[in-house]
Chains A and B, each alone.
Chain A
């Protein structure tokens, strides 16, 4: 057992830290709304790219640094610690690129990877549908062959960043005759076509991070099938596994910072003398640290022993629950300001409700833990 970084890892972290200190992003735009925010993150990705830091987890042959899992986690921890934004094309960097590296043809890798890295082409993810959320394989969007193209019709939801995207990782049904997991195919769909209508989905915070996509006979060339026709479920799982990996470290650090901010506010207001407040804050501290330790244990066990433990499923569950507890406690500590529209803490309070739903609901995560980690029997689905 050694809970310190190796010399190489420490050197990686220090180099990144120095770079981030020397190359801070410009201040976040205070007006201009969502467009300005995206432009800001796009410029930031360009700066990371120019510095060689857009995707250290990518192999060197594709423009990354071939960073280890640990270094990749350090990267996201450090981005979080420096309080810089995530690059604009985070979905392409984290999900799309790595999925293509596993399943893509040489032509696809050559065509798509460079503009993902530079941020010239932004990617979004078209998986969920109104009737296919937790039960993703039940999706209904159809693709039928037509010459060298596929013609796609259907509806997608929770597509973040679609309005800025060029490419959508789209899973559609290409065969109705086989079991539901087997009839799926993974496509790269050009979002910039008339047949794809993007409608922002206003969420409980009032903003629209996500969109609905209405797809009416969109065309996708056959060359944009990833991993073969009928193999979409496996390719999608590659994407989803990447979703739960790296990003967790950035979120975990952000949680820590929110807690530190809240501790500082409680301190300024003399509330740490209140044993009930102190107890609640310390409870969050324990939870927050256990998330950090579980995340590192899961990652390093995978890296060293090739054997992921149960931690992967536990981290997202505990993180989402803890962030909800934290933002709720903030409402008590901060007072009316936390309930005033447009403030930081009111936003966090509302945004946190999504945490236990997005990227796998807590209920689904508990099923995964019960069935795959504890080996409990599966309840037969209602007929």
Chain B
């Protein structure tokens, strides 16, 4: 058993962290977030490096790597909050690749993998006239949308077939839109569930990155900030909450590792993917909310100001925590899975 990354995976992680530290420094993120703009130059650079297509099959123009590599990039982008449509776009590609028809894959995957096109995924409701998603993160500039109704059905919508309206989410690092339209069914043949589990793993990975960075910033702050003549981080009311942030983050991190491994492990892992993905999203959604809330609290007054950077992490965590179902939704799914297994395991 080995939770470690391979040398190649470690290289991906290190390269991503270094690149994003120089290209998506907090000032640059803030500049784009305040203007609700994506960073087109950075997106072009990441596209040239092949990031958007990292987990897309080579046959569709991607790099053909797996969920583990995708999770590494999602986590790094979550740490930096780089204002690029990475997660929305890779979620779109994941759902189309694993649940789409050959025509849908043909039409969209090449562009999504190269970064020439961007996508966005939103939670939607349906009625007789079609689909309606009031708040699609990353939707403002997306070329194609995948809308998902409660994990049970999904559709693909090209931008020119959709009605796209302005919508501002609290997270302006990822400009949103309202999206509605008739849509073309996606994954009606039963492939949707497994595709969604892969997508959930990617969202959860981004949340782990958000938590990791929020904790890092908080630890640095409470070491620096003095009150009553001592660093506030020496007070156990503060240090114990930091310890709790670490526990929440690491609990989510192992669940994401398990899910990413399960998605890539083929026959060995497929059976546990639904459970692993639900656990990852449940743990990461809770951790994302709790850890970033604690980050604001432990920054004290400055944490409540626009000027400090912690609020961007809180806002991203809120959007990600809700995306494709929150912790409660996935715990409901887990309760059914766990109960079925417990009942079958216990002698009558």
Report the interface size for chain A: residues with CB under 8 A from the other chain. Answer: 56
| Cβ–Cβ contact A294 & B254, under 8 A | yes
- A99-138 CB mask vs B (1 if < 8 Å, else 0) is 0000000000000000000000000000000000000000
10 A-B pairs closest in CB distance: A282-B331, A370-B239, A263-B342, A293-B254, A278-B335, A369-B243, A260-B342, A290-B251, A282-B335, A282-B334
Chain B residues within 8 Å of A305, by CB: 4
**Is A205 located at the chain interface by the 8 A CB criterion?**
no
- Report whether over half of chain A's contact residues are helix, strand or loop; otherwise say mixed: helix
A278 to B327, CA, bound (A): 13
How near does chain A come to B205, taking the closest CB pair, in angstroms?
A: 13
Interface residues of A (CB under 8 A from B): 1-6, 9, 70, 259-261, 263-264, 266-267, 272, 275, 278-279, 281-283, 285-287, 289-290, 293-294, 296-297, 300-301, 304-305, 309-311, 314, 317-318, 363, 365-367, 369-371, 373-380
**Is B181 located at the chain interface by the 8 A CB criterion?**
no
A52 to B3, CA, bound (A): 31
| Cβ–Cβ contact B335 & A281, under 8 A | yes
Chain B residues within 8 Å of A366, by CB: 236, 239-240, 243-244
Contact of B2 among A1, A318, A378 (CB under 8 A): A1
| Cβ–Cβ contact A263 & B339, under 8 A | yes
Question: Which residue of chain A lies nearest to B346 when distances are taken between CB atoms in the complex?
Answer: A264
Contact of B247 among A5, A289, A363, A369 (CB under 8 A): A369
A314 to B223, CA, bound (A): 22
**Is B194 located at the chain interface by the 8 A CB criterion?**
no
Give B327-343 interface residues, CB cut-off 8 Å to A.
Answer: 328, 331-336, 338-339, 341-343
| Cβ–Cβ contact A310 & B239, under 8 A | no
Contact of A286 among B9, B236, B282, B345 (CB under 8 A): B282
Chain A residues within 8 Å of B331, by CB: 278-279, 282-283, 285-286
A160 to B269, CA, bound (A): 42
| Cβ–Cβ contact A264 & B3, under 8 A | no
| Cβ–Cβ contact B219 & A377, under 8 A | no
How near does chain B come to A61, taking the closest CB pair, in angstroms?
A: 27
27 A–B contacts, CB within 8 A, in A order: A1-B3, A1-B257, A1-B260, A2-B261, A3-B269, A6-B1, A259-B338, A279-B331, A279-B332, A282-B332, A282-B334, A282-B338, A289-B279, A290-B254, A290-B283, A304-B4, A314-B251, A318-B251, A366-B239, A366-B240, A367-B239, A370-B243, A376-B233, A376-B234, A376-B239, A379-B230, A380-B234
Chain A residues within 8 Å of B3, by CB: 1, 3, 296-297, 300-301
| Cβ–Cβ contact B332 & A275, under 8 A | yes
Chain A residues within 8 Å of B235, by CB: 379
**Is B242 located at the chain interface by the 8 A CB criterion?**
yes
Sample of 8 more A-B contacts, CB < 8 Å, known A300-B4, A309-B250, A314-B250: A3-B257, A3-B269, A285-B279, A296-B1, A374-B242, A374-B246, A376-B234, A379-B234
A33 to B170, CA, bound (A): 63
Chain B residues within 8 Å of A378, by CB: 234
